[in-house]
Structure 1
Amino acid sequence: MPLTPEQQAEIDALRDAPQQTLRATVPGMEKHLYVAHQVLDHGLVRVIDYMGDDAAICQAARVSYGRGTKSVQNDEGLIRYLMRHWHSTPFEMCEVKFHVKLPVFVARQWIRHRTANVNEYSARYSILDREFYIPAPEHLAAQSSQNNQGRGEILQGEEAQRVLRLLQEDAMRSYDHYEDMLSQDGQQGLARELARMNLPANVYTQWYWKVDLHNLLHFLRLRADSHAQYEIRAYADAMCQIVADWVPAAFAAFRDYRMDAVSLSAQAVAVLKRRLAGEVVTKDDSGMGAREWREFEEIWGN
């Protein structure tokens, strides 16, 4: 289960006791406060706190007091201008703090994004739960033949069952040994900080992750991309829905100018110009490497 009964009781108590405030609030974000959005089999994402809104971005850009806007249209236009021209500082005026429950191997990818404040559940002080990420059958895939860090064909039949069985058995066996090694019930055993090293990378951990909007959008641009690993992309997709409700104008601009946009190298621009002029351009005379040419053709055709 993503939440323990104690965590759910805490959430229910917080949502049943709303507080008045003079700071800016966003109805779309208020509905997400404390609510656990399930991700993967045992994971979750929930908003603990947030600061700022679309108007705060515009206020910072104009260096003014109050709402700093003349109309919603003006604010949206300004936000789109800022996003289009890579003006990042105004987006840093908004912040959000998430509680995330995720497999350790996903956390190790996630922590590569270093522009955030993180406090993780400590297995030196506490005992980790017997919870492991086991992929659904549709996410069991062989190694890609073209991409060393990607997946290929989905495993089928007996091979899929064999792999699932190994994952489940290894996870349970490792946790059994983890429990056996712990110093508890009168047994001397190992310290928690040592016993944890026997656990596999699919065991679940938890952390609080606080980040400003600019760096959050950078995270989402990379991790909500179709080429990102599925497991971290599942978290990014859930967070995209939350951010869209929090700062709808900023997220719409982000989608247009970052997520759904195409970045072109100087060589790609030159090839497009030559094509528009009626010239037939091949990989050999494009100035691109094989992988870049393949990616170019995926978007622009051959």
Structure 2
Amino acid sequence: MTVQLVDHNLSDQAVVRAARVSTVGQTHQSPDEAADRETGLINYLMRERHGSPFEHGSLTLYVEAPIFVFREWQRHRIASYNEESARYRELRPAFYLPTVGRNLVQVGKPGSYRFEPGTAEQFSTVDTELVTAYETAYRSYERMLSAGIAREVARAALPVGIYSSMYVTMNPRGLMNFLSLRTHREDAAFVSHPQREIEVCADKAEAIFASLMPATHAAFEANGRVAP
């Protein structure tokens, strides 16, 4: 799965500038002067959940992942999405298979369960059944296209394990909301239990976020990973 930075105008200084305008109006601090004082203010804003200063700026990511990951990601509506369309282009035969180490067995009831590793036999079963299903579905898709069936009809044969691509754009506040729900951290104020595949994508997005806004990311972590 791929998560790549395409464009951004993010900075910790933008958060500080937005916050200070409410008390001192327009400021003309140099970046160095702002950097010297930003950490405490950003931590205060995060702790007290003054969220609007974190809405200034945005980043755009390019994502390649299985469609079932996109369906979970796009439930987060504090973002803008443009996804590859199977109405207008033929999808490539690229499909998801769990990697070794991905827990396979769900133990417990919904709302109170855990995942445990699968056996070698279970991994073999998953690989065999998914590959068989993918090959059968894609052959049906290709036969319909060859018969002149519209792509928007033929795509109904494709499973959610096929890969798609999209651009997603969000501001830092929306990104922190996404990360708080789609990453698992035992020390978080509200521990989330996301599906592993979307967590892999979220971890990659978080690494980008941390590199662009280190003070904001540090405050996010220090305050229980709660979006302001």
Whether 1:133 aligns to 2:99 is no
**Within 5 Å, which residues of 2 pair with 1:26-65?**
43-63=1-21, 64-65=26-27
Q: Is the 8 Å Cα contact of residues 243 and 251 (structure 1) preserved in structure 2? A: yes
CA drift at 1:168: 1.2
**Structure 1, unaligned stretches of length 5 or more?**
1-42, 262-302
Q: Find the structure with the greater CA-based Rg.
A: 1
- Alpha carbons of structure 1 residues 150 and 107: separation in structure 2 relative to 1, 3 Å: farther
Distance 2:27 2:3 in 1: 34
2:49 alignment partner AA = W
Query: 2:88, 2:97 → 1: CA distance?
Result: 26
Indicate how the Cα distance of structure 1 residues 75 and 132 shifts in structure 2: closer, same or farther if over 3 A, else same. Answer: same
Deviation at 1:157, TM superposition (A): 2.5
Question: What SS does the corresponding residue of 1:258 show, helix, strand or coil?
Answer: coil
Higher relative contact order (CA 8 A, sep 6+): 2
What is the CA deviation profile of residues 140-193 of structure 1, one whole-angstrom value per residue up to 9, with x for unaligned ones? 4122214458553221032321222101111121111111111x4xx43x1000
What's the counterpart of residue 208 of structure 2?
Answer: 242
Residues 24-55 of structure 1 deviation map (CA, whole Å, 9 limit, x = unaligned): xxxxxxxxxxxxxxxxxxx2111111113111
Indicate the residue corresponding to 1:66 in structure 2.
28
Amino acid at match of 1:65: T
Code of the aligned partner of 1:208? Y
Specify whether residues 48 and 62 from structure 1 end up closer, same or farther in structure 2 by C-alpha distance, changes over 3 A only: same
Query: Is 1:216 equivalent to 2:175 in the alignment?
Result: yes
Q: Following the alignment from structure 2 to structure 1, what is the Cα–Cα distance between the partners of residues 34 and 62? A: 34
| 1:71–1:58 Cα change, 3 Å | closer
Q: Specify whether residues 232 and 124 from structure 1 end up closer, same or farther in structure 2 by C-alpha distance, changes over 3 A only.
A: same
TM-aligned CA deviation for residue 66 of structure 1: 3.1
- Confirm whether residue 207 of structure 1 aligns to residue 173 of structure 2: no
Amino acid at match of 2:69: V
**Between the two proteins, what is the percent identity of the paired residues?**
36
Unaligned runs of 5+ in 2: 186-192
Return the offset for 1:258: 2.9
Partner residue in 1 for 2:154: 195
C-alpha RMSD of the superposition:
1.8
In 1: Cα distance, 2:112 partner to 2:161 partner: 18
- Contact conserved, 1:91 with 1:214, CA < 8 A, in 2? yes
Structure-1 separation of matches of 2:180 and 2:9:
21
TM-score by length of structure 1 reads 0.67
SS at match of 1:139: coil
| Deviations, residues 255-280 of structure 1 (Å, cap 9, x unaligned) | 11132x7xxxxxxxxxxxxxxxxxxx
Does the CA-based 8 Å contact 1:79-1:250 persist in structure 2?
yes
> Deviation digits for residues 110-157 of structure 1, max 9, x if unmatched?
111011111111100000110011001321412221445855322103
Residue 255 (str. 1) matches residue 221 (str. 2): yes
Give, in whole Å, the separation in 1 of the partners of 2:8 and 2:82: 17
What number of residue pairs does the alignment pair up?
214
Alignment partner of 1:115 is 2:73: no
User: 1:144 aligns to what SS in structure 2?
Assistant: strand
